[in-house]
Amino acid sequence: MAGVANTWGYGAMTNSMNDIRHSKLVFMLGSNAAEAHPVAMQHILYAKEVNNAPLIVVDPRFTKLAAKATDYVRIRPGTDTAFVMGLVNEIVTNGWHDKDFIRKRVAGFPEMCEIAKHYTPEVVEDITGIPASEVKRIAKLLATHRPGTVVWCMGATQHSIGSSNTRALCILQLVLGNMGVSGGGTNIFRGHDNVQGATDMCVLSHSLPAYYGIKDGSWKHWCRVWDVDYEWMKSRFHSKEYMNKKGFTLARWYQGVIQEDKISQYTPIKAVVFWGCASNSQSQYHKLKKALDKLDLVVIIDPFPTMTAAACEKDNVYLLPSSSQYETEGSVTSSSRQIQWRFKVVDPVHDSRDDYWIMGQMVKRFGFHDKFYKNIKKVPDDITRELCKGSLTIGYNGALPERIKKHTLHWETFDVDSLQAKGGPCDGEYYGLPWPCWTETHPGTPILYDISKPVAKGGLPFRARFGTEHTYWNGRKENLLAAPGVYNPGSQVKGGYPEFKDIVPGTNWKTDLSQKTIKVAISRGMAPFGNARARCVCWNFPDQVPVHREPLHSPRPDLIAKYPTYPDKKEQYRVYTRFKSEQKPELVKNFPYVLITGRMVEHMGGGAETRSNKYLAELAPKMYAEISTRLANNLGIRDGDMMWIESPEQGKVKVMARVTDRVDDKTIFMPFHFGGMFMGQDLSGNYPKGHEPYCIGEPANICTNYGYDIVTQIQGTKEGLCQVKKA
Q: What is the pLDDT of residues 99-114, one digit of tens each?
A: 999 999 999 999 999 9
- Which residues neighbour 633 within 8 Å (Cβ) at sequence distance 6 or greater? none
Would you state the pLDDT for residue 191? 80
Report yes or no: 387 and 394 within 8 Å, Cβ to Cβ: no
Residue 1 pLDDT > 60: no
- Strand ordering across the sheet containing 55-58: 71-73, 55-58, 25-29, 148-152, 186-188
CA distance 492 to 284: 55
Sign of the dihedral defined by the CA atoms of residues 278, 279, 280, 282, in that order? positive
Cα Dmax for the chain: 75
Percent of the chain residues past pLDDT 70, beyond the cut:
98
Torsions phi, psi for 497 (to 5 deg): -160, 155
Report yes or no: 694 and 688 within 8 Å, Cβ to Cβ: no
Angle between helices 121-128 and 132-144 (to 10 degrees): 120
Report yes or no: 671 and 623 within 8 Å, Cβ to Cβ: yes
Nearest Cα neighbor of 710 from 560, 548, 569, 550 is 569
Mean pLDDT computed over every residue of the chain = 96
Mean pLDDT of the region 359-371? 96
Q: What is the pLDDT of residues 538-552, one digit of tens each?
A: 999 999 999 999 999
Q: What is the pLDDT of residues 214-265, one digit of tens each?
A: 999 999 999 999 999 999 999 999 999 999 999 999 999 999 999 999 999 9
Q: Kindly tell me the burial class for residue 439, based on how many C-beta atoms sit within 10 Å of its own C-beta (0-12, 13-18, 19 or more).
A: middle
Would you state the pLDDT for residue 4? 31
User: How many Cα atoms are found within 13 Å in the side-chain-facing hemisphere of 173?
Assistant: 31
Report domain extents, the chain: 18-188, 585-726
18-188 carries CATH number 2.40.50.1020: no
Q: How many CB atoms lie within 10 A of CB 5?
A: 24
Give per-residue burial for 599-632: e unless 16+ CB within 10 Å, then b: bbebbbbbbbbbbbbeebbeebeebbbbbbeebb
Residue 327 pLDDT > 60: yes
Angle between helices 80-93 and 132-144 (to 10 degrees): 60
Q: Which residues pair with 136 in a beta bridge?
A: none
What is the DSSP secondary structure assignment for residue 448, as one 8-state letter? Answer: T
Would you state the pLDDT for residue 700? 98
Cα 428 to chain center, whole Å? 30
Would you state the pLDDT for residue 569? 97
The angle formed by the CA atoms of residues 473, 476 and 481, to the nearest 5 degrees, is 110
CATH T-level assignment (fold) for domain 585-726: Barwin-like endoglucanases (2.40.40)
Residue 141 pLDDT > 70: yes
Report yes or no: 479 and 469 within 8 Å, Cβ to Cβ: yes
Residue 446 pLDDT > 50: yes
Mean pLDDT of the region 165-188? 98
Report yes or no: 72 and 62 within 8 Å, Cβ to Cβ: yes
CA distance 78 to 554: 9
Would you state the pLDDT for residue 11? 64
Torsions phi, psi for 178 (to 5 deg): -95, 15
Omega of the bond prior to 380 within 30 degrees of 0, cis?
yes
Q: How many CB atoms lie within 10 A of CB 494?
A: 10
Residue 60 pLDDT > 70: yes
Secondary structure (3-state) at 274:
strand
What is the DSSP secondary structure assignment for residue 566, as one 8-state letter? Answer: P
CA distance 591 to 720: 9
CA distance 418 to 416: 6
Q: How many CB atoms lie within 10 A of CB 646?
A: 20
Mean pLDDT of the region 139-157? 96
Q: What is the 3-state secondary structure (H, E, C) of 214-228?
A: CCHHHHHHHHHHHCC
Cα 338 to chain center, whole Å? 16
Cα 716 to chain center, whole Å? 13
Mean pLDDT of the region 396-422? 96
The angle formed by the CA atoms of residues 614, 615 and 619, to the nearest 5 degrees, is 110
pTM of the model: 0.97
- Which residues neighbour 140 within 8 Å (Cβ) at sequence distance 6 or greater? 90, 94, 96
Q: How many CB atoms lie within 10 A of CB 105?
A: 24
Angle between helices 401-409 and 381-390 (to 10 degrees): 120
